[in-house]
Amino acid sequence: MAHEHRLIRQYLDNLAFATERLEHGERPPKEFFENVVLFAREFVDGYHHFKEEHQMFVMLAQKVKGRNDAAIEVLRYQHERGRAIINAMSQAIPGYQSGNEQDVLAMLENAAAFGALLRQHINREDSVFYPMARKELSKEDQERLGEEFKRADEKAGSDCFERNEERVMKMAGLLHA
């Protein structure tokens, strides 16, 4: 999961740069924000958060019998909040393209909100949740979870990580064109 967080951080760096450009009255291309939405839906939510919600959280909840429900619920809430923000960004893309000031402002506000939310979320996972999970799950549990992650990787397609890594590089190129 750490290598996934590295890629997501690169994505967030691109998003932060785009947000800064918007704050200065510059308009990154529509294609950039289309890729923001695609990456969030396919990689962040459909790949990374899927493994957390449907594999790690489930195993951990069973193992600790409710002791960490609050921590898990905070992370689930952040996942849901991120989905809502990405949906708002997706809805703003047509108006953003045509120069509608309300949609340009919505894009700026939602890009900033998503970036802040996801950075805070990753930091919480890295510093609190993952260490707690390593402590609570036995070596056998961790190996079983690793096998479940491999099955999820196969389901997502062998090129999911590489495809999204290319998307992040493309996004950087769109910002610097």
CATH number of the domain within which 171 lies: 1.20.120.520
Distances (CA, A) of 122 to 57, 61, 105, 126: 15, 20, 26, 6
Q: What pTM was computed for the model?
A: 0.92
pLDDT tens digits along 143-153: 999 998 888 88
pLDDT tens digits along 20-78: 999 999 999 999 999 999 999 999 998 899 888 888 888 888 887 777 678 888 889 99
Contact indicator for 91, 98 with CB cutoff of 8 Å: no
Distances (CA, A) of 126 to 68, 83, 113, 130: 16, 21, 20, 6
pLDDT at 177: 76
Contact indicator for 114, 82 with CB cutoff of 8 Å: yes
Q: What is the CA radius of gyration of the chain?
A: 17
pLDDT tens digits along 79-138: 999 999 999 999 999 999 999 999 999 999 999 999 999 999 999 999 988 898 889 889
19, pLDDT greater than 90: yes
Q: What is the mean pLDDT of residues 7-29?
A: 97
pLDDT at 85: 99
Q: Residue 112 is part of which domain span?
A: 2-175
* Count of structural domains, the chain: 1
Between CA 90 and CA 159 the distance in angstroms is 24
